[in-house]
A and B are shown apart, each in its own frame.
Chain A
Amino acid sequence: MAVYLFYFFVFPGLLFVAIAGAFLSWFDRKITARVQFRKGPPLLQPFYDFFKLLLVKETILPKNGSPLLFLLAPVFAVFGAVMAGVFILLPLFNITTGFKGDLMVIFYLLTIPSFSYIIGSLASGNPLAAVGGSREMKLILSYELTFLLVIAGIIMKCGQQFDLYTIIQTQQAGSPFIGSISGVLLFIAGIFCIQAKLALVPFDMPEAEAEITEGIFIEYSGSAYALIKLAKYIMFFILPAFMIALLMNGFRLEGINILWAVLKVILMVLIITLIRNTNPRIKIKQAISFFMIWMNLLAVIALVLIAFGY
């Protein structure tokens, strides 16, 4: 029992993913600043933001909404993100849980943050938040199928294995899945799904600052917003880690391989950040057709290629 609590709260769980995600979010902001020829924030900026929101600011509850749901939604978001993080990171750090089929659990847990943002935004009683919530809903409907097809492709590539530990071991014994044509196609589809899951710029219509002023988070302030920031930091670490586990060989934890593991995470975040900085925000209709037609087509082609053994 104690070891599970340790897993959840300290090592692959809350503390570790939060700190790693905060540093990655600093990296994201720094790269964004360098792309725009600025200097960028200091290293500890995400921690200052988080502790300022948590300790200093006042939390305002909505008068016309449902305060209980409004406050519980960020807690659910953090819980879902940490839970998904534990399930992803335990196999990555070579700790077997003996749980066959955790891939499906991860898939469902990764949608919990988005769903709780929708619940929180609808509970706040703000019309702009409702617009953001409906956009987030449409975004989920469009990218979930692609994400599921990517995972299905990995399962087919690995010989009908549903657990992440076996997938990582298969790659480490043979070659990483990204080293084939179908692997590259799955990687492209997966990167765009991550971009939409993180609500970063080509797909940031739920929280468009200029248009609907932060959309789903418009009414959040103080410690509730701090928890949302925490969930965002965690998602920023675990989604690249998930892609690394699925396609890029996972982590190996001896000698020089630790450096490779860190570089892989940084590379993934760099790709996401560069996509974010070189694209405009698209309309929700364009996002739906982008995922429903093009990304699904890409993933289906990858599935066909896998069936023929490429």
Chain B
Amino acid sequence: MGFKNYCFKKSLWVFHFGGASCNNCDIEILDCLTPRHDLERFGILLVGSIRHADVLLVNGSINKRDKERLLEIYHQAPRPILVVAIGACGCTGGIFAEGIPFAGPVDKIIPVDAYIPGCPPKPEAIIAGIVKLVNK
């Protein structure tokens, strides 16, 4: 079990689900993969298909249409899958929390393993969140 867990922690592949985002969090997530912060040092890769993913990154406010997509993506993912909510909108709803099309923060729809608040969170904050997730 120790070996399996170790391999899993050493190679987290990330799938990025953007809800109705203002694109700031998307840019900060991509910033983590750029030369300055280089998440590939820890074996973290951005993959194109949810079937290859180990971590589902969700950012942006989730409205009623996004909710169906998010549930579908979550059910298509192979287990074990970790879910990370990024940004104020993903964690709590932020300024959209009282809007009419808002369908609840991410943890009302699917179970969330880590929250990274901020509007947008800095890349350092995202890396700190990933480290905490890995050491959990």
Contact = CB atoms under 8 A, between A and B. Distances in A.
Highest count of chain B CB atoms <10 Å: which of A44, A45, A52, A213: A52
Contacts of A38: 34-35, 38, 40-41
Given A39-B41, A48-B43, A58-B79, A214 B48 contact: yes
Contacts of A210: 48
A221 B52 contact: yes
A72 interface: no
Interface residues of A, number: 33
A55 interface: yes
B41 A52 contact: no
Given A36-B35, A37-B35, A38-B38, A209 B47 contact: yes
Interface in B25-64: 34-35, 38, 40-41, 43, 47-49, 51-52, 54
A213 B11 contact: no
Interface stretch (B2-10, B94-102, B106-114, B117-125): B2-10
**For chain B, which range describes its interface: under 10, 10 to 19, 20 to 34, or 35 or more residues?**
20 to 34
Given A213-B48, A221-B78, A29 B11 contact: no
A213 B47 CA distance: 8
A40 interface: yes
A143 interface: no
A228 to B, nearest CB: 10
A38 B47 CA distance: 18
A62 B79 CA distance: 16
A24 B67 CA distance: 42
Contacts of A36: 35
Given A39-B38, A52-B7, A209-B47, A60 B78 contact: yes
A147 interface: no
Contacts of A209: 47-48
A59 interface: yes
Given A48-B10, A49-B11, A220-B51, A55 B43 contact: no
B70 to A, nearest CB: 17
A300 to B, nearest CB: 38
A25 to B, nearest CB: 13
Contacts of A39: 38, 40-41
Contact of A218 (B6, B7, B49, B78): B49
B3 A51 contact: yes
Highest count of chain A CB atoms <10 Å: which of B8, B51, B78: B51
Nearest to A222: B78
Contact of B54 (A52, A55, A60, A217): A52
Contacts of A214: 47-49, 52
A163 interface: no
A101 interface: no
A28 interface: no
A136 interface: no
A149 B4 CA distance: 46
Contacts of B54: 52, 57
A42 B48 contact: no
Highest count of chain A CB atoms <10 Å: which of B43, B47, B49: B49
A214 B7 CA distance: 23
A112 to B, nearest CB: 23
Highest count of chain A CB atoms <10 Å: which of B4, B6, B40, B76: B40
A33 interface: yes
Contacts of B79: 57-58
A97 B35 CA distance: 49
Interface in A178-229: 209-210, 213-214, 217-222, 225
A39 B39 CA distance: 9
A77 B40 CA distance: 28
Given A41-B41, A48-B11, A51-B3, 18 more contacts: A33-B38, A38-B38, A40-B40, A42-B41, A45-B10, A45-B43, A49-B43, A51-B4, A51-B7, A52-B8, A52-B11, A56-B7, A56-B8, A57-B80, A58-B78, A59-B78, A60-B78, A225-B51
User: Which 6 interchain pairs have the tightest Cβ spacing?
Assistant: A213-B48, A209-B48, A221-B51, A48-B10, A58-B78, A221-B78
